[in-house]
Homo-oligomer: A and B are copies of this chain.
Amino acid sequence: MATTRGAGSKRSQEAAETRENILDVAMREFADKGLAGARIDEIAEKTNSSKRMIYYYFGGKDELYRAVLERAYERIRRQEQAAQFETLEPVEALRAIVGHNFDYHFEHPEFVRLVMNENVHHGEHIAQVAGIKGRNQSVIAQLGAILDKGVAKGVFRPGIDPVDLHTTISALSFYNVSNRHTFLHNFGIDFADPAYRAKRREQIVQAVLGWVQAR
Which residues of B have CB within 8 Å of A33?
36, 120
**B119 near A181 (CB under 8 angstroms)?**
yes
Instruction: Point out the residues of chain B lying under 8 angstroms from A136, CB to CB.
Output: 186-187
User: Would B175 and A170 count as touching, CB distance under 8 A?
Assistant: yes
What are 13 A-to-B residue pairs whose CB atoms are below 8 Å? Answer: A34-B37, A34-B120, A37-B121, A119-B180, A122-B181, A123-B181, A133-B185, A164-B203, A167-B176, A167-B189, A168-B172, A171-B175, A171-B176
> 6 nearest interchain CB pairs?
A123-B181, A171-B175, A36-B36, A36-B37, A207-B211, A136-B186
At the interface, yes or no: A215 with Cβ under 8 Å from chain B?
A: yes
Residue of B nearest to A164 (CB): B203
Selected from B122, B186, B203, the residue in CB contact (under 8 A) with A168 is B203
Closest residue of B by beta carbon distance from A127: B185
Chain A residues 104-139 with CB under 8 Å of chain B are 113, 115-123, 126-127, 132-133, 136
Candidates B117, B140, B171, B206; contact of A174 at CB < 8 Å = B171
Whole-angstrom distance between the Cβ of A91 and the nearest chain B Cβ: 15
